[in-house]
Amino acid sequence: MNAPNSKPLNPEWYRAAKNHPVVSLLILLSATGGMLVSFNTSIALGYFSYSSFSNSQYWRIVTPIFLHFGLLHFVFNSLWLSMLGSRIEQHNGSLHLLLVVLATGAISNTAQFWWSGEVFFGGMSGVVYALIGYLWIVGIIFPQPENQLPKGIVIFMVGWLILCMTPVVTFFIGVGIANAAHLAGLVCGMVLGGIFGLLGKINQYRV
């Protein structure tokens, strides 16, 4: 038993990491990628920016999701990842979330490369939009308390996606937005949400 006013043996960050190991790992890798970009951009972009299958560096199809350009970029994506990813990891398991992140990360990165032709982009936002799309559609097809996403979040993020496609946001923040990655992530997440939502509904009827 803990003494009065003593700190708990397991602090909040430890419990969060234990309950949601994949979310915690993704945030840690994002922080590492952000620091690498800040302190040695040439290594970050030279080894972890997007690359097609042509040079056999397959990891570079996914690793741009960990490259963050600035503290706000990292914090914004990490907060959304924590909120959305923890729901999926809690309900469907760590491996399920990891596979969703890897698949949607690869697809959103590839879409951004095809659209812009540039390899110097990064961030977890394509995956964040995928998680939004996933929870949105799962919540419609197979509504469960763990999968319910407030409509306000969906409206806000879709609205932000549309706004980012205009010159307004780019003008005010002074940098480009990976709109193709956002849109591809959202669509991919919606497709996966539809698939797993239907599977959940089918399994429910079998029980």
Domains and their CATH numbers in the chain: 12-206 (1.20.1540.10)
**The dihedral sign for the CA sequence 112, 116, 120, 121:** negative
pLDDT interval class at 189 (50, 70, 90): very high
Q: What is the pTM of this model?
A: 0.87
Q: Where are the alpha helices (DSSP H) in the chain?
A: 12-19, 21-39, 41-48, 71-92, 94-116, 125-141, 151-164, 167-173, 179-206
125 annotated active-site: yes
The catalytically annotated residue of 24, 30, 86, 125 is 125
DSSP tag of 144: -
pLDDT in tens, 73-89: 999 999 999 999 999 99
The catalytically annotated residue of 20, 68, 73, 182 is 182
Quick one: which of 134, 13, 145, 137 has its CA closest to 84?
134
Give pLDDT, residue 95.
Answer: 96
Give pLDDT, residue 43.
Answer: 87
What one-character-per-residue DSSP string does 46-76 give? Answer: HHHS---GGGS-GGGGTGGGG--SSHHHHHH
Q: Of the given ranges (10-24, 82-96, 102-116), which has the lowest mean pLDDT? A: 10-24
pLDDT in tens, 35-73: 999 998 888 888 899 986 667 888 999 999 999 998 989
42 annotated active-site: no
pLDDT in tens, 134-184: 999 999 998 887 777 888 899 999 998 998 888 776 666 656 788 999 999
Residue 177 to residue 161: CA distance in whole angstroms: 10
Q: Of the given ranges (11-15, 32-36, 82-86), which has the lowest mean pLDDT? A: 11-15
Residues 6+ apart with CB under 8 A from 2: 8, 9
